[in-house]
Structures are given as C-alpha cells and as structure tokens.
C-alpha cells in the first residue's frame, strides 16, 4: 500500500491539542490528589507521553478497539472514555467505569472499544491479537491498536502475536511507547537491539517516530490504520518519548535515597513537552488561534474540576459486589 504523507489540518491539530491537554490536566490533578493522600490506590502517570495516545486514537472509530497498559488513563481518554466515570473509578466509587472494582490500572469500557488498562505487563498483546482476529473473522472493518511499553516488548507473547498478526494479516497496529524505562531500569540495561526490528523479522512494516511530535505520530498512525482497515495487515510503530514522572507516584517510598536517572535528563525532556510544542505551533497562527487555545484551556479545566467533584461526591464502591461479579452470586 502506498504511504501518504499528510499533515493534520489546523482543526485536526486543535483537536489533537485538546485531547493531549485533557490528559495532561487530568493527570496533573491526579498527581495533586495522590500527594494529598486522597486516592485509594497507586497511579502511573502518562505525563509527557500524551502525543502517542492522541495521535493514534485520532484515527480510530468508536467501534475500533484498543488495549492499554498500567499507564492507561491517556489511552482511555483519547479513545473517548468518559472522564467522570474514570475519575470515580480511580476514587473507588460506585459510579466508576468498573463500579469502583478496578481502579486506575483497570479502566475499561468495552462499549467504546476500550478493552482495558492492564496491570499485567504485556497482557495486551494477546488480547489485541484476539480482538483483531475476531474483527477479521466477522469482517467488521474494525481495527485494533495495541499500546505497550519498551519493557513489555521483552515479553515472549509479543513474538507469538507478531507471528500470527503477520501470518493472518490481522487489522492490528502495534504501538510501542518507548519511554526509556522499565520501572527503575533504563532500557539499555534490559532491552537488547532495536525493538522494531523484532517486528521487521516477521515481515511487518515498521515506523520509528518522535513520540513527542503529535503530527509525526498522527501521520504514522494514519497510514497504519488505513492499511489495517483496507486488509493490508499489521504495522509496528515505535514512538520515542520519555517518562518525566516517576514509574508510579510516590516511587521514592520504594527507592529511598537511590536514583536511577539524572535530574538534568528529566529537565531536557520536559523542554520537549508535546503539549507545549503543539501550543507553540498553534499560537504562532495569530490572535484568533491564541483565543481558541484559551477557550480550550478553560473547557478542559472545567471538565477536570467537574469530574473530580463527581468522583468525590459519589458513593463508595460496595466491596460485596466483588463476590457477585466474580462468582455470579454463588459465593464459595
């Protein structure tokens, strides 16, 4: 299939910006609430990586599907997940998207093709491959995007899934979010070679992109999703980015005085912030665009505040519900 090099239009760039900003402001609020001790569980933040979820999901339809990771708020929101229900889930409330049973690492909404964040590293490969196989069998025209980290790419199931995805030409886009770390291990200490070459060995077309450049991700994803939808099979995108936050919030409780990276490295990557970069591009378009950015900021902030209020004011989850959901009412 011929690759087309198209840039997002101005309106598309505004939409990408709004999506990234929603993820950023949501997570900044979660960081604050976590520090204040208001969240019942851990949160793994996606701050600095927003361009990948936004750039890929921009090409997905409602019926398309995604699989996600333990760092999954951004994927959920970019795929159109409900913000209030996600916040209530993170606060362990009855109104949560999984009725408060899953928390941050399990936000899922099958009705929107969000097959779930997942605390098991690399679990998304097989879920995504199965979903893509089902889409192919049903000739539904649905496409699946599988988000995973560089650390996850060392799981053996990736090889099995690359194999069948290529063999059966499944409508699947593998999206490796190469943020440089697997927990507290720099990628160079746990990952050999270049990750995309694993996919190339199975004959899968590969793209390596700057994951902090939303237009670059958008363009690579556009070709990949079109190829998948048109029956052309899988594509592998390796998007380079950086995890500017800790592996999880409050990681210092684990690490004590130990450090696994330099503060200067973090600052250098913060200067490449995908949200600020896109805002800068749009601001240079003149006063009308600056005004539009201001409106977006206000709209996003209002949505985030409303979602926090909704979560805070909702009833706590009912722990008994876990039994009926797990055992269909037949408690062992």
Ligand X SMILES: Cc1ncc(C[n+]2csc(CCOP(=O)(O)OP(=O)(O)O)c2C)c(N)n1
Q: Tell me the closest approach of the beta carbon of residue 158 to ligand X, in angstroms.
A: 11
Closest CA to 30 of 17, 42, 18: 42
The verdict on 243 binding ligand X (CB under 6 A) reads yes
CB-nearest residue to ligand X: 149
Q: Tell me the closest approach of the beta carbon of residue 183 to ligand X, in angstroms.
A: 4
Strand-strand pairing, 65-67 and 144-149: parallel
Q: CA 158 to CA 22: how far, in whole Å?
A: 31
The answer to whether 83 and 77 are in contact (CB under 8 A) is yes
The verdict on 181 binding ligand X (CB under 6 A) reads yes
267-303: string of b/e by CB count within 10 Å (b at 16+)?
eebeebbbbebbbeebeeeeeebeebbeebeeebeee
Smaller CB distance to ligand X: residue 3 or 28? 28
Q: Tell me the closest approach of the beta carbon of residue 119 to ligand X, in angstroms.
A: 5
Beta bridge partners of 177: 149, 239
Smaller CB distance to ligand X: residue 191 or 281? 191
The verdict on 179 binding ligand X (CB under 6 A) reads yes
* Interacting positions 144-163 with ligand X (CB under 6 A): 149-152
Smaller CB distance to ligand X: residue 155 or 235? 155
Q: Tell me the closest approach of the beta carbon of residue 185 to ligand X, in angstroms.
A: 8
Residue in 95, 136, 182, 219 binding ligand X, rule: CB under 6 A: 182
Residue count of the chain? 332
* Interacting positions 36-95 with ligand X (CB under 6 A): 69-71
Residue in 121, 126, 276, 301 binding ligand X, rule: CB under 6 A: 121
The answer to whether 149 and 121 are in contact (CB under 8 A) is yes
Task: Burial-class residue 117 by CB neighbours within 10 Å (0-12, 13-18, 19+).
Answer: buried
Smaller CB distance to ligand X: residue 24 or 247? 247
What's the token pair of residue 241? 């980015």
Using the rule CB under 6 A, give the single segment among 96-104, 130-138, 179-187, 276-284 that binds ligand X: 179-187
Interface with ligand X by CB under 6 A: which residues?
69-71, 119-121, 149-152, 179, 181-183, 243, 247
């Amino acid at each position: 299939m011929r690759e087309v090099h198209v840039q997002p239009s101005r309106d598309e760039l505004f939409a990408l910006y709004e999506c990234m900003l929603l993820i950023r402001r949501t997570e900044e609020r979660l960081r604050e609430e976590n520090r204040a001790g208001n969240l019942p569980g851990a949160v793994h933040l996606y701050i600095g990586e927003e361009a990948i979820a936004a750039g890929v999901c921009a090409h997905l339809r409602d019926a398309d599907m995604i699989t996600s990771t333990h760092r999954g708020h951004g994927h959920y929101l970019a795929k159109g997940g409900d913000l209030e229900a996600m916040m209530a889930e993170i606060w362990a409330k009855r109104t949560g998207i999984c009725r408060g049973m899953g928390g941050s690492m399990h936000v899922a909404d099958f009705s929107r093709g969000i097959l779930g964040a997942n605390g098991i590293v690399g679990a998304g490969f097989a879920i995504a491959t199965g979903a893509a196989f089902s889409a192919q069998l049903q000739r539904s025209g649905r496409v699946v995007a599988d988000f995973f980290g560089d650390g996850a790419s060392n799981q053996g199931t990736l090889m099995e899934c690359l194999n069948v995805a290529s063999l059966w030409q499944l409508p699947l886009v593998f999206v490796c979010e190469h943020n440089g770390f697997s927990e507290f291990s720099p990628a160079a200490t746990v990952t050999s070679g270049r990750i995309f070459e694993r996919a190339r060995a199975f004959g899968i077309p590969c793209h390596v992109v700057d994951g902090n450049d939303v237009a670059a991700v958008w363009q690579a994803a556009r070709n990949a999703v079109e190829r998948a939808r048109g029956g052309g099979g899988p594509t592998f995108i390796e998007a380079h980015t950086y995890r500017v936050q800790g592996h999880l919030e409050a990681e210092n409780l684990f690490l004590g005085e130990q450090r696994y990276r330099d503060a200067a490295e973090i600052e250098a990557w913060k200067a490449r912030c995908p949200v600020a970069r896109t805002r800068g591009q749009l601001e240079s378009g003149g006063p009308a665009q600056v005004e539009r950015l201001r409106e977006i900021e206000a709209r996003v902030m209002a949505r985030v505040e409303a979602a926090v209020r909704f979560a805070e004011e909702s009833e706590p989850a009912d722990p008994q519900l876990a039994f009926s959901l797990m055992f269909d009412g037949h408690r062992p």
